[in-house]
Amino acid sequence: MRNLLFLLLAGLSTFGCNTYSDEQKNQFISEAENYAKKHHWNYEVLEGGLIVEILEKGTGTEKIQSGSEIEMEYKGQLTNGQKFDQTEPGKPFKSNLKGLIGGFQLGFLGQVEGTKLRMVVPPHLGYGDDALDDIPANSTLVFDVSIENVY
């Protein structure tokens, strides 16, 4: 139930705080990329500085689009390794892509069922300057995600 609240709240602030300066966003992006480099990820940098590493390409045929419904299993943590949320194994979380944080919306577009990926989500694509339970304001988020179904 916690992850349901977590991701639905995320959708309310779709692309985080819009009050960041370009300098602040660039700093967040630099920190996200440094995290991926430090952990030796084989990644690409998407729009807004989202870091994505494809761990396993999916075999599904339907690509995720902006209105897609998806089921996923995920683990979310801060860059210091503190886990803040995780789905229960075998119990995927279902949502419309539009109801997820901006980083998920960008990172999932074009992916298919069965894809496993890691993402580093800078604050402006996550929760911005909002603090939520175990997530401090302006946090960079790290996710391991498995896309289980696409509708």
Confidence of residue 19 (pLDDT cuts 50, 70, 90): confident
When pLDDT is averaged across residues 104-109 and rounded to a whole number, the result is 97
Look up the domain containing 58 and give its range.
2-150
**98-113 burial by CB neighbour count: b if 16+ within 10 A, else e?**
ebbbbbbbbbbeebbb
DSSP 97: G
pTM as predicted: 0.89
With CA atoms as reference, report the closest residue to 147 among 43, 41, 60: 60
Q: Which two tokens stand for residue 142?
A: 């790290």
What is the C-alpha separation between 123 and 114, in angstroms, rounded? 27
- When pLDDT is averaged across residues 27-55 and rounded to a whole number, the result is 97
CATH code (residue 99): 3.10.50.40
- Rg of the chain over Cα atoms, rounded to whole angstroms, equals 14
Question: Which of the pair, 17 or 108, is modelled with greater confidence?
Answer: 108
Residue 1 has pLDDT above 60, yes or no: no
Domain count, the chain: 1
H or E element, residue 94: strand 93-96
Res. 6: pLDDT tops 60 = no
pLDDT higher at 44 or 16? 44
- Alpha-carbon distance of 131 to 138, in angstroms, equals 8
- Mean pLDDT, rounded, of the chain: 91
Among residues 16, 38, 26, 42, which one has the least CA distance to residue 117?
42
Q: Is 124 helix (H, G, I), strand (E, B) or coil?
A: helix
Please enumerate in sequence order all residues whose Cβ is within 8 A of that of 57, keeping only pairs 6 or more positions apart, or say none.
Answer: 112, 114, 115
Residue entry with tokens 């496993």: 116
